[in-house]
Structure 1
Amino acid sequence: MNRRTLLRAVTVGSLVPAAAVGTATLGDDTADTTTADEGASDTDADTGSADGEETPVSVRIVELPDEITGGALLEWTVEIENLTDEAIRPTLECFVDGEPVGNVTLTIGPGERERPFPSSYRTEPVSDDDEVTVRAEINGDADERTVRLRPTNELNSELQFPDPELAVQSETTVHFEVGAVEPDAGQTTTWWIDGENVGDTLADPWQGVYYVEQDAHYWQETFETDDNDAHEESYEVVAGVDVDGEQYRANWTVTVTPDGLESPTIDATRPEPGTLELSPEGTTLEVDVTDPDENLERVVWWLSQADRLLDVSDVSGASDTATLAVASGRCDFCQLIPWVITGDGTVTSDPLWDTIVPGIDPDGDDLETEFL
């Protein structure tokens, strides 16, 4: 069984991306880096072949910062030299802390040098000084460098949801948020769980919509245990917030335990779930929701396909009813999906209704979808 279930995640790599590569988001840290001298790798790095013999290809990391702030995008350039008198086609592989982050195969003429497009890796925000090791390998030759990570500024606690310490039961989903640091600045957020990059604000269109409507980026994660219900397991969730190149860090510790928080539930709906004809005059939807831990907070109403956040309904206590009035024309063939979120961060969601145009057979051949 997987230790966790990812609801939304994406990885983006430089070169040809490997599965473990960090995400490359829009911000950078170029204003706050120190660049190593291009010739430094001749003396500071391991450039020998794996068996100690000379190889027909030489590789050097020629551009790499000495240090960056944790959470920033780390970028480097590699130079490859063909030491033979024939054209060759080697494969360059790059690693960060031993994990593959990308590869590229290229043709190099006899005696020529080539520099592929720069590689990049989104580093994890850190609370203390740390480091990462970048390594480039090609046909047995290698070059390796270490980059210092400076501590990342902690995000204002008022912009972090839920509280940083929480305990949940197995298979409970938690909704995390980091708010807008500067409303008019460019902001991206990358998420890590136990040191693994699991996704960022480019994961899907809802991320951008939620930020515009709610001034926050979010991540949802379902936590499980490997063994049985009596087994406790803890996870560290870290959000790296890049605001126009400035880095911030938020973190949570989630403990999975038999007596932890439970997910809220949707107990009843009006109308019944299923196909729903929306009236031009408006249709009222209701959901009865319950939180076993008596801390209901809000219901977020989504319209799929159109990628629209329709409204947010306030709820409270152990049980409550959320209401939404919606008219036809928003999206002719979409799903209406409520998220039920508690003040503790637990969440449940369910695609309850499939909207259709009145008078049109949803199984017919003449369907058209209109987005207004």
Structure 2
Amino acid sequence: MNRRQYLTRAGVGVGTVPLLASSSGATGYITVDIIEANTPLAGGDLLEMTAELENSASTDERVELSLVVGEDPEVVGKRTVPVNAGETRTVEYLQFRTYPVRTDDTFPVQVATEVDIAETMVTVTGIDSFDAQYAYPNREQDLTVQPGTTVLFEIDSEMLDQQGTTHWYVDGEYVTTPAGPWPATYFSEVGRELFTHTFDATGTHLVDTAVTAADGNAGSRWEVTVADNGLEPPTVDATRPSSRELAADKPTTLELDVSSTATELDRVVWWMTQSDVILDVSDISGTSDTASLQIDGGCHTCQIEAWVIDEKNAFTAVNPWVFEGFDEAGNDTGEGEVPVTILDTNSPVTGGEVLEVTAAIENTGTAEVTRDVDLVVGDDPELVDSRTVTVPAGGTKRFELLFETYPVAQDDSFPVRVETGDSTDQRTVLAYGTGT
């Protein structure tokens, strides 16, 4: 059975199952056992396991531990764990997020070292689809789009109680749980959870969501076909005022002429960037229309971003205007929004190892920008790394920041932040204790 039918990884590192090999030296004295697993669990839930490593040798060891899933074994997580001579080490937080299957499924999960394997069977129970009236776009209609089209998927707030959390998957792989100011603002103002995905490869793709809640999980599935003759996203044909620059302290009427060649238009969502607010949602209809918005000004260097959405939830995002981007001499500074985003970390790490944080800065302006970037860690913030990053106009620059973690005795989770002065992104990371 294909792992993608029922699993999706939540750890780091993907590869093939390790081969058992004969061992010389102390490593051969390491045994592994699975002592706890929260099975059975519902589709979309996080499988959490605890293992135990016993070192009967006379020397301390560092053991490479792999989490392996499926009848066609695949490594979904790796970790290096120190185990002192003559001691037993408990290893927690072995986990991955399951797929929102519709029928019950049982499959093997292994915790493996180079010389030993412990295996248990895990059962994931199927979940029901929630009512189609709460899912957008209509999952029962044909959804065929051209390559490069972005589709907005939504779940009505009536489907989500206070305990509900959404998890999104594309083609069987876990993608995200929506987080950040824009999804939160959209949910508050529009009353829907959102997830966007751009479809580039031709063929048929599946988008799934799992709503995990205390009283039971539910899901929704969309089938999206990507073809050269598919639906084109809506277009913006004209903007008024035509000048990109807006006065931050004066009222202005904004207008967008929009059109669609394949389906009816639906709405325009007006955002003000940096302040992360929705100014309005304008209804539009037909295959061509004009959306307008009256504003009283805005924050300096903030942009107006408009999402033009059609009835099948294909959408186009444009940034036609920015507030006061001129310097005192009247020259266009070309400044746009310059957000920083944490893309990935190598968490979890063992205390004493180097934490690697991969981040990116996006420059939406028309001029090159330079930012000083800091990596700050801990609940009592400590600056641990910094660098200067230059990003060309309209470009994105990736970079890494490093932090040598402390050799803590017990597992420890803590926040890490990447800051540029005008933008910040944060994640929580985990350092495993050394047991000493």
Question: Is 1:254 the equivalent of 2:229?
Answer: no
Q: Which residue of 1 aligns with 2:83?
A: 108
Report which stretch shifted further, 183-192 or 347-356.
183-192
Q: Deviations over 1:209-231 (max 9, x none)?
A: 211112211122222335xxxxx
Relative to structure 1, the CA distance from residue 315 to residue 124 in structure 2 (aligned partners, 3 Å threshold; closer, same or farther) is: same
Q: How does 1:141-220 map to 2 (within 5 A)?
A: 141-164=116-139, 165-181=142-158, 184-202=161-179, 204-220=180-196
Q: Which residue of 1 aligns with 2:293?
A: 324
Q: Whole-Å Cα distance in 1 between the matches of residues 231 and 19 of structure 2?
A: 54
SS at match of 1:107: strand
Q: Which residue of 2 aligns with 1:278?
A: 248
Kept after mapping to 2: 8 A contact 1:278/1:357? no
Question: Is 1:130 the equivalent of 2:105?
Answer: yes
Q: Whole-Å Cα distance in 2 between the matches of residues 20 and 326 of structure 1?
A: 49
Q: Deviations over 1:226-271 (max 9, x none)?
A: 5xxxxxx111111111234631110011112333211100111011
Question: Is 1:353 the equivalent of 2:321?
Answer: yes
How far off is 1:72 after superposition? Answer: 1.1
Q: Whole-Å Cα distance in 1 between the matches of residues 124 and 110 of structure 2?
A: 16
The one-letter code sitting in structure 2 at the alignment partner of 1:130 is D
The one-letter code sitting in structure 1 at the alignment partner of 2:192 is A
The size of the alignment, in residue pairs, is 320
Q: Which residue of 1 aligns with 2:385?
A: none
Relative to structure 1, the CA distance from residue 169 to residue 359 in structure 2 (aligned partners, 3 Å threshold; closer, same or farther) is: closer
Question: Is 1:119 the equivalent of 2:94?
Answer: yes
Q: Whole-Å Cα distance in 2 between the matches of residues 307 and 356 of structure 1?
A: 18
Relative to structure 1, the CA distance from residue 19 to residue 299 in structure 2 (aligned partners, 3 Å threshold; closer, same or farther) is: farther
How far off is 1:134 after superposition? Answer: 2.3
Q: Deviations over 1:22-75 (max 9, x none)?
A: xxxxxxxxxxxxxxxxxxxxxxxxxx9814779221111111133111111111
Kept after mapping to 2: 8 A contact 1:136/1:144? yes
Q: How does 1:324-343 map to 2 (within 5 A)?
A: 324-329=293-298, 331-343=299-311
How far off is 1:301 after superposition? Answer: 1.1
Q: Deviations over 1:61-119 (max 9, x none)?
A: 11113311111111111111112111112222223334433333232211211112322
The one-letter code sitting in structure 2 at the alignment partner of 1:18 is V
Q: Whole-Å Cα distance in 2 between the matches of residues 93 and 225 of structure 1?
A: 32
| Greater strand share, structure number | 2
Q: How does 1:61-72 map to 2 (within 5 A)?
A: 61-72=34-45
Kept after mapping to 1: 8 A contact 2:64/2:79? yes
Relative to structure 1, the CA distance from residue 170 to residue 369 in structure 2 (aligned partners, 3 Å threshold; closer, same or farther) is: closer
Q: Which residue of 1 aligns with 2:373?
A: none
Kept after mapping to 2: 8 A contact 1:294/1:319? no
Kept after mapping to 1: 8 A contact 2:153/2:196? yes
How far off is 1:124 after superposition? Answer: 1.1
How far off is 1:19 after superposition? Answer: 5.2
How far off is 1:179 after superposition? Answer: 1.5
Which blocks of at least 5 consecutive residues in structure 1 are unaligned? 1-10, 22-47, 227-232
Q: Looking at both structures, which has the greater relative contact order when contacts are Cα pairs under 8 Å and sequence separation is at least 6?
A: 1
How far off is 1:139 after superposition? Answer: 3.0
Q: Whole-Å Cα distance in 1 between the matches of residues 239 and 14 of structure 2?
A: 42
Which blocks of at least 5 consecutive residues in structure 2 are unaligned? 1-7, 336-420, 424-436
Q: Deviations over 1:157-191 (max 9, x none)?
A: 11101121411222222111111245651332111
Report which stretch shifted further, 48-57 or 204-213.
48-57
RMSD: 2.9
Identity of aligned residues (%): 34
The one-letter code sitting in structure 1 at the alignment partner of 2:319 is P
Q: Whole-Å Cα distance in 2 between the matches of residues 132 and 209 of structure 1?
A: 39
Q: Which residue of 1 aligns with 2:274?
A: 305
How far off is 1:296 after superposition? Answer: 0.4
The one-letter code sitting in structure 2 at the alignment partner of 1:200 is T
How far off is 1:287 after superposition? Answer: 0.7
Q: TM-score of the superposition, structure 1-length normalised?
A: 0.78
Q: TM-score of the superposition, structure 2-length normalised?
A: 0.67
